[in-house]
């Protein structure tokens, strides 16, 4: 048996096309959805993530108010800029690319973003609303995982979902989304304190790996036919590449593809969904501002 590959690039393109259509409709009513991505410094991975976001903004027809600040920017200067963007009614979404330079308090910065413009879904108001089941901007990667499952036609209701990882940006929120009535999974959340993790993962109908370590999930940990969602993005040295590295996930893809029923590749699985869902949230923010 060979697993069906869930093509995140294709699903993300579908989501962006749906968003682009709605952006055109909003533009016809005189509103151009607008996102401000703030990048501080020159971290190469962050620069490349921001470039990807800007490319997607152009593709879906949204306005781009991104700001690239020098590494030496003070916390006060950054907070001042966020205050200006909060007050600017033509800006619907604000995203601060993480990580920030060490001299800036990330929590203080994220708290400064108006929750109604927090299209990353990281502000405690949005996190709290997600927990109690109220309307919220859903964090992009976890939301992207749910949309991938939906668009791949995977039935989730009554299934046992096992999540590896409990971070605030992936593990915890994806567990909550999987457990929501709409998705209706029974969820087990694993972490480094979990004993006999392979016994738990082998019970998973849906296994989400968000550990940030290569080879976290091997063949013996997966039930035949299970759906495997690999969130991990790990750089490993590769002298055959111009960059000197390549990206791999948390799962042993080659090993798993004969056991799993469905699997997401890395790259080209969850990654493209994150940016697509950011476009989705920015559109929602513009629609909410209009209301
Ligand atoms: P993180 O903050 O480092 O959290 C990793 C979590 O995994 C922690 O809760 C940790 O447990 C757990 N963990 C680590 N090794 C484990 C193991 N061997 N067994 C069980 N649990 C283990 O990472 P993150 O921010 O959630 O990101 C996870 C991965 O997803 C990274 O590779 C990241 O690059 C990737 N990512 C991808 C996207 C995307 O768009 N594709 C977006 C975000 C993140 P403890 O809490 O016990 O330490």
CATH code for the domain in which residue 107 is found: 3.40.50.10860
What tens digit of pLDDT does each residue of 110-132 get?
999 999 999 999 999 999 999 99
| Å from CA of 233 to ligand 1 middle | 9
Total domains, the chain: 2
Model pLDDT, residue 198? 98
**Is residue 12, in this structure, part of any structural domain at all?**
no
Burial 110-138 (b: 16+ CB within 10 A, else e): bbbbbbbbbbbbbbebbbebbeeeeebbb
Contact 191, 170 (CB under 8 A): no
For residues 250 and 85, give the distance between their C-alpha atoms in angstroms, rounded to a whole number.
37
Strand partners, 134: none
- Retrieve residue 239's tokens: 């002298």
Residues 56 and 179 both lie in one domain: no
Average pLDDT of span 229-247:
95
Give 229 Cα–ligand 1 centroid separation in angstroms: 13
Domain-embedded: residue 266: yes
| In the predicted structure, residue 230 carries a pLDDT above the cut 80 | yes
Please, which residues have CB within 8 angstroms of residue 285's CB and are 6 or more apart in sequence?
33, 92, 93, 116, 117, 119, 137
Counting residues of the chain whose pLDDT is more than 70, the rounded percentage is 100
Active site residues: 53, 97, 120
For the CA of 194, the closest atom of ligand 1 is 20
Task: Render pLDDT for 189-217 as a digit per residue (tens, 0 to 9).
Answer: 999 999 999 999 999 999 999 999 999 99
Residues 191 and 150 in one domain: yes
In this structure, are 256 and 159 located in the same domain? yes
Is residue 52 lining ligand 1, measured as CB closer than 6 Å?
no
pLDDT of the residue at 280: 98
Residues 150 and 266 in one domain: yes
Q: Annotation-wise, does 167 bind a ligand?
A: yes
On the CB side of 127, how many CA atoms lie within 13 Å of its CA? 12
> Quick one: average pLDDT of 39-44?
96
- Write the residue with the smallest CA distance to atom 18 of ligand 1: 216
Q: How confident is the model at residue 258 (pLDDT cuts 50, 70, 90)?
A: very high
- Quick check: CB of 180 below 6 Å from ligand 1? no
CATH number, domain containing residue 223: 3.40.50.720
> Which residues span the domain enclosing 74?
30-114
Distance 166 CA to ligand 1 centre (A): 7
Task: Choose one of 95, 142, 171, 211 to mutate for the ligand 1 pocket test, by most ligand atoms within 8 angstroms of C-beta.
Answer: 211
**In a shared domain, residues 194 and 98:** no
Contact 229, 8 (CB under 8 A): no
pLDDT at 291: 84
**Closest approach atom of ligand 1 to CA 211:** 7
- What pLDDT is stored for residue 290 in this prediction? 87
Burial level of 82, CB count in 10 A (0-12/13-18/19+)? buried
Q: Do 150 and 105 have their domain in common?
A: no
Tell me: do 50 and 171 sit in the same domain.
Answer: no
Distance CA 147, CA 246 (A): 26
Report pLDDT for 238: 95
Is 166 within any annotated ligand binding site? Answer: yes
Mutate to test the pocket of ligand 1, among 12, 142, 146, 191 (most ligand atoms within 8 A of CB): 191
The pLDDT of residue 195: 98
- Pick from 6, 1, 2: which is nearest to 152 by CA? 6
* Residue 1 pLDDT > 80: no
């Amino acid at each position: 048996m060979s697993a069906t590959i869930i093509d995140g690039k294709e699903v993300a393109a579908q989501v962006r096309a749906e968003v682009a259509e709605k952006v055109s409709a909003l533009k016809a009513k005189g509103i151009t959805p607008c996102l401000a991505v703030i990048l501080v410094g020159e971290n190469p991975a962050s620069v490349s993530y921001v470039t990807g976001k800007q490319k997607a903004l152009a593709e879906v027809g949204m306005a781009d108010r991104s700001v690239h600040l020098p590494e030496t920017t003070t916390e006060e200067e950054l907070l001042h800029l966020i205050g200006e963007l909060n007050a600017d009614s033509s800006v619907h979404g604000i995203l601060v690319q993480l990580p920030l330079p060490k001299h800036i308090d990330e929590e203080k910065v994220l708290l400064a973003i108006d929750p109604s413009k927090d299209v990353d879904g990281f502000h405690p108001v949005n996190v709290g609303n997600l927990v109690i089941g109220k309307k919220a901007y859903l964090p992009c990667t976890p939301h992207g995982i749910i949309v991938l499952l939906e668009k791949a036609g995977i039935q989730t209701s009554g299934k046992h979902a096992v999540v590896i990882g409990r971070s605030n940006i992936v593990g915890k929120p994806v567990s909550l989304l999987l457990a929501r009535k709409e998705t209706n999974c029974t969820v087990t959340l694993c972490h480094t304190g979990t004993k006999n993790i392979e016994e738990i993962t082998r019970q998973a109908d849906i296994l989400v790996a968000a550990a940030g370590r290569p080879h976290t999930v091997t063949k013996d940990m997966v039930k035949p036919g299970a759906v495997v969602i690999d969130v991990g993005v790990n750089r490993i040295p590769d002298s055959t590449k111009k960059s000197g590295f390549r990206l791999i996930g948390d799962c042993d893809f080659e090993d798993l593809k004969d056991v799993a029923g469905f699997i997401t590749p890395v790259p080209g699985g969850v990654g493209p969904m994150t940016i697509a869902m950011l476009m989705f949230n920015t559109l929602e923010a513009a629609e909410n501002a209009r209301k």
